[in-house]
Structure 1
């Protein structure tokens, strides 16, 4: 009854001088706050707020680098790269189907990965284990982002895909826009595609694009983009 039995009737309130004085009455509310400590803090023997930063990411990175307990191996180029199927399956639905699904590879299996460099595949694995990218030289950033974008799309790593889009966005110029626009179209990167089209809305940028080898690659790989480019120019001019 949600406390209804504790209520006082209006008639009883009005007739009771103990509660009602000069047509007013007071209500007192007692609040009790219970202080608790987390089990983690108690077990560590330290006060709340004094716990050191969690180093689980560092430990997972070490697990990848050492290969301890690995139960699957990837053959990429001429390199054999060990990994842990449960970790991969937890992070990627594609890996989950490949490694834990009905058609899963047997424990200790060696899986061949074609069309990608070993350093790129290792960078993707580093992201899978740690949620961040390894150190990449500035001069290699764009090429690495291009290849990682393809892998991120293949293995449904949404956050990695967005990171790669952001990197490629920063490098948009007349020499890169054709390749970037092609990748954006092929891998469903709407925001990156829009950024390229915005850059090419300038007639000067578009003319510079047409003189590059990338323009031929773009028209051959994604001929449907020509219609978007034409509409883009018509909108601006």
Structure 2
């Protein structure tokens, strides 16, 4: 954020204008703006950007709202990206929702094939170990035993 010494304009260079507008709306009204014509994918992307902004500006309630919204938008295409976001911004409920979504082999294999998973493995390699431990903990106790 840069402030000019000779004008009343403040430039926020690291945030999209729509995201900043929604952030200001939340700060003033304690609610998110209603965007009925926004598609599900756009809504999820806005929630991701707002979560980052909420974490940056320490707006805990907004962060929780975005986390809740993202928990309802986890799908094969977005799971790895949302998991990376949850790890980077300390969103434990969101991370657990991602782990739950990834708990079946079919879903996990589909997510592994996405570009988002490549990004996850590069940006948060430690989360892969945690993911595997979480999946192993969800397996039946007799899995892998010889009969």
Same fold (TM over 0.5): yes
For structure 1, the residue ranges without an aligned partner over 5 or more in a row are: 1-73, 76-103
Q: Does 1:124 align with 2:124?
A: no
Moved over 4 A (4+): 104-109
Q: Which deviations, in whole Å up to 9, do the C-alpha atoms of 1:38-95 show, x marking residues without a partner?
A: xxxxxxxxxxxxxxxxxxxxxxxxxxxxxxxxxxxx77xxxxxxxxxxxxxxxxxxxx
2:37 is equivalent to residue 135 of structure 1: no
Partner of 2:145: none
CA contact (8 A) 1:174 1:208 kept: yes
Separation in 2, partners of 1:185, 1:107: 41
Q: Is it true that 1:163 corresponds to 2:62 in the alignment?
A: no
- Distance (whole Å) between structure 2 residues aligned to residue 126 and residue 107 of structure 1: 27
Is the aligned partner of 1:234 residue 2:136?
yes
Shift of 1:235: 1.2
SS in 2 for 1:224: helix
Which fold has the larger relative contact order, with Cα–Cα distance below 8 Å and residues 6 or more apart in sequence? 2
**Is the contact between residue 169 and residue 195 of structure 1 (CA under 8 Å) also seen in structure 2?**
yes
* CA shift for structure 1 position 108: 5.7
TM-score by length of 1: 0.54
**Offset, 1:111:** 3.2
In structure 1, the residue matched to 2:81 is 179
CA distance in structure 2 between the partners assigned to 1:194 and 1:115 by the alignment: 29
**Residue 203 (str. 1) matches residue 102 (str. 2):** no
**1:179, 1:214 within 8 Å by CA — same for their partners in 2?**
yes
3-state SS of 1:150 partner = helix
TM normalised by structure 2 equals 0.84
Query: Are positions 1:223 and 2:98 aligned together?
Result: no
Q: Bigger radius of gyration, 1 or 2? A: 1
Deviation, 1:106, is: 7.2
Does 1:113 pair with 2:15? no
Superposed CA RMSD: 2.1
CA distance in 1, matches of 2:6, 2:30: 25
Local SS of the residue matching 1:192: helix
Match of 1:21 in 2: none
